[in-house]
A and B are shown apart, each in its own frame.
Chain A
Amino acid sequence: MELINNLMLGFGVAFTLQNLLYAFGGSVLGTLIGVLPGLGPVATIAMLLPSIYALDATPALIMLAGIYYGAQYGGSTTAILINVPGESSSVVTAIDGYAMARKGRAGAALAAAGLGSFFAGCVGTIIIAAFAPPLTELAFKFGPAEYFSLMVLGLIGAVVLASGSLVKAIAMILLGLLLGQINTDVISGVPRYSFDIPELTDGIGFVAIAMGIFGFGEIVTNLSKPAEHREVFTKDVKGLWPTMQDFKDAYPAVLRGTALGSILGVLPGGGALLASFAAYTLEKKSKGRKGEVPFGQGNIRGVAGPESANNAGAQTSFIPMLTLGIPPNAVMALMVGAMTIKGIQPGPQVMTSNPELFWGLIASMWVGNAMLVILNLPLIGIWIKLLTVPYRFLFPAIVVFCSIGSYTLNNSSFDVYMTAGFTAVGYLFYKLGCEPAPLLLGFILGPMMEENLRRALLLSRGDWTTFATRPLSAGLLVAAALMIVIVMLPSIKNKREEAFQEE
């Protein structure tokens, strides 16, 4: 019963007063940014990275994790109440959730989303606890060639499942990998692309990239659009508890959504967004009871399914990050960065070298999910009030936190200038229709990928076939190739474009 022992250790860590406070803080902050449209978890976590210098690794990661799954809860609130998804993963929730709100059933929709998410979160936590150790075992068998191939698979997976043009997304990964080459070469000690600027020999801080592109770049993008007028259903939120019939309708959807989300979350590039889209499609296809409300007009399954799925996906996307050190999405890339800041090398050894951190983080997710249900259902009124904060107050606050954050990272003005520079890059990407998330993944994985590639070649004495002759490595590369081929198939290609059209 190692699982029980491990979880006990984890709950012991998570239930200390300090860690409870940070889990709570993270969840509140996550809900907050989830509710506020125009500020996502990527920008927020980037903003907070400098502040974790003052914290121990465990509470810091507990807090950051709380922000991520808290944002999934908060995002659904805005989707239901004002038809503006706070997070991209609640886009589909808005379809039926908003329809329910317009019929005066906002309370039932919010409850279905909240309780469904909580259930999914619990299952997700158990799945992480059960699957992380065997995966970690497997990861110890990996040599440099396998790691390189795994990263190729991870990066390809991340873009195959993302929206937009595939070729452009792969080019964005390469751009990220190249930006990661601006550093001092680990093996030979030669500074590369530094143009004799001493700050650049340490590489570009990924916080500068994340804040510039995701924080400031988004502000400029938002400001360039005309202000929108929102209709908020604040008075209609009553009768929070769903009816018996609602429960009967919603629970199979919750189960299906949780299962689907848990699987999709583990896949590279999966996570919350894809899970919610897939779950909505699944709910539409599966048969409900006779005479239920049609989809698009306020079917509770259309809320419960995707919401459970996105939360389960958010949880299980921690698995590749925790066991292999490979981030499946931009938020996890930042978590890897946070671990590095705290001097922890992400990878399979984290479970044995920092068991308190590993199991404490997992247990805290369950604790955080419980807190979120409490935060979101009875306190919904407070979050609704926040929706009325105008953007002209919001964006200076984001600018202030990002600016201070980029300065305190190294206590240098150089990082602030870099962040300002990446603002323009972020806006350029938006204008040219280039998705920036793959760039961040590439940037984080770049140095690791290079090191593993060069080590693998050293070991094989320059023989490139080493990637194809080692069975594990070959399997991973074949999987990556298959993914590209499948997405390129005409029928799948159209479906993929269709799925992202709804955004």
Chain B
Amino acid sequence: MKIKSQKDFWSGLMFVAVGIGFAWGATNYNFGSSARPGPGFFPFGLGLLMAILGAAVLFKALVVETEDGEPIGAWAFRPLLIIMGSVGLFGFTLPLLGMAVALPILIVMCSLAGDEFHWKDAIISVVVLTVGSWLIFIKGLSLVIPLWPKFITG
């Protein structure tokens, strides 16, 4: 059988898989009865319903003709991984190194995700955004965010 819409095929598959996953997970919790619904009641029904709808999407992807096969196209792994990586690293470094160090790392790293990277632009961003964030979040909104690294402040 030929796939007529790549996008619908994979999204249908995703809905079926996640729906069954949630419904299966719900069996770990007390289902209760209609008169006394337990914690597993609602997620089980929802998961099942989603799997059914996913199957409908899947069916459509295999049956209904589309003009161009609705391809998913190339994945932009570079920006995706760089953005995810830099944000994840920021979550790790912020409590340890403080905003003064963690932010410049984040900014330089995520700037690499763009098409063009110039050190001059990155440094402008670092200065403007770090000082700006300090003014807005720590001075202005007085949020509790570490500013300097732990090993300096103790």
* A→B interface (CB under 8 Å): 50-51, 53-54, 165, 167-168, 170-171, 174-175, 177-178, 181, 185, 187-188, 190, 192-193, 216, 219-220, 223-224, 226-227, 391-393, 395-397, 399-404, 406-408, 411, 413-417, 419-421, 423-424, 427-428, 431-434, 449-450, 453-454, 457-458, 461-464
Question: Does B7 lie within 8 Å of A190, measured CB to CB?
Answer: no
Question: Does B121 lie within 8 Å of A393, measured CB to CB?
Answer: yes
Question: Does B34 lie within 8 Å of A224, measured CB to CB?
Answer: no
Q: Which of B76, B83, B107, B143 contacts A51 (CB 8 A)?
A: B143
Contacts A175-B50, A178-B22, A432-B10 given; does A416 touch B39 at CB 8 Å: no
Residues of A contacting B133 in the complex (Cβ-Cβ under 8 angstroms): 400-401, 404
Whole-angstrom CA separation of A289 from B8 in the bound complex: 47
Measured CB to CB, the closest approach of chain B to A53, in angstroms, equals 7
Contacts A175-B50, A392-B121, A413-B95 given; does A431 touch B137 at CB 8 Å: no
Whole-angstrom CA separation of A461 from B32 in the bound complex: 12
Question: Does A171 lie within 8 Å of B54, measured CB to CB?
Answer: yes
Question: Does A416 lie within 8 Å of B88, measured CB to CB?
Answer: yes
Which chain B residues in 21-68 approach chain A with CB under 8 Å?
22, 25-26, 29-30, 33-39, 41-43, 46-47, 49-50, 53-54, 56-57, 60
Question: Does A400 lie within 8 Å of B107, measured CB to CB?
Answer: yes
Q: Which of B46, B85, B103, B114 contacts A392 (CB 8 A)?
A: B114
* A–B Cβ pairs within 8 angstroms, 16 of them: A51-B136, A167-B60, A170-B53, A178-B46, A181-B43, A187-B39, A190-B30, A192-B29, A399-B106, A399-B110, A413-B95, A420-B83, A423-B80, A432-B7, A453-B42, A454-B41
Contacts A178-B47, A392-B116, A407-B91 given; does A167 touch B56 at CB 8 Å: yes
Whole-angstrom CA separation of A4 from B132 in the bound complex: 43
Whole-angstrom CA separation of A56 from B125 in the bound complex: 32
Please give me the 5 A-B residue pairs with the lowest Cβ-Cβ distance, nearest first: A416-B91, A462-B35, A224-B76, A462-B34, A185-B39
Whole-angstrom CA separation of A431 from B144 in the bound complex: 37
Measured CB to CB, the closest approach of chain B to A264, in angstroms, equals 27
Residues of B contacting A450 in the complex (Cβ-Cβ under 8 angstroms): 42
Question: Does A188 lie within 8 Å of B38, measured CB to CB?
Answer: yes
Whole-angstrom CA separation of A464 from B41 in the bound complex: 14
Whole-angstrom CA separation of A88 from B102 in the bound complex: 35
Most buried by A among B42, B76, B99: B42
Residues of A contacting B38 in the complex (Cβ-Cβ under 8 angstroms): 188
The closest CB in chain A to the CB of B5 belongs to A433
Contacts A396-B111, A408-B137 given; does A190 touch B29 at CB 8 Å: yes
Residues of A contacting B122 in the complex (Cβ-Cβ under 8 angstroms): 396
Interface: B100 (CB within 8 A): no
Measured CB to CB, the closest approach of chain A to B110, in angstroms, equals 5
Q: Which of B22, B29, B110 contacts A396 (CB 8 A)?
A: B110
Residues of B contacting A227 in the complex (Cβ-Cβ under 8 angstroms): 115
Measured CB to CB, the closest approach of chain B to A390, in angstroms, equals 8
Residues of A contacting B49 in the complex (Cβ-Cβ under 8 angstroms): 174
Residues of B contacting A187 in the complex (Cβ-Cβ under 8 angstroms): 39
Question: Does A433 lie within 8 Å of B121, measured CB to CB?
Answer: no
Question: Does A423 lie within 8 Å of B15, measured CB to CB?
Answer: no
Residues of B contacting A220 in the complex (Cβ-Cβ under 8 angstroms): 76, 79-80, 83, 113
Question: Does B37 lie within 8 Å of A453, measured CB to CB?
Answer: yes
Most buried by B among A220, A227, A414, A428: A220
The closest CB in chain B to the CB of A398 belongs to B110
Question: Does B88 lie within 8 Å of A223, measured CB to CB?
Answer: no
Residues of A contacting B95 in the complex (Cβ-Cβ under 8 angstroms): 413
Question: Does A395 lie within 8 Å of B29, measured CB to CB?
Answer: no
Residues of B contacting A408 in the complex (Cβ-Cβ under 8 angstroms): 137, 143-145
Residues of B contacting A53 in the complex (Cβ-Cβ under 8 angstroms): 143
Contacts A174-B49, A181-B43, A432-B72 given; does A224 touch B84 at CB 8 Å: no
Most buried by B among A53, A178, A223: A178
The closest CB in chain A to the CB of B41 belongs to A454
Residues of B contacting A171 in the complex (Cβ-Cβ under 8 angstroms): 11, 15, 50, 53-54, 57
Q: Which of B25, B26, B91, B113 contacts A417 (CB 8 A)?
A: B91
Whole-angstrom CA separation of A213 from B56 in the bound complex: 25
The closest CB in chain A to the CB of B92 belongs to A413
Measured CB to CB, the closest approach of chain A to B102, in angstroms, equals 9
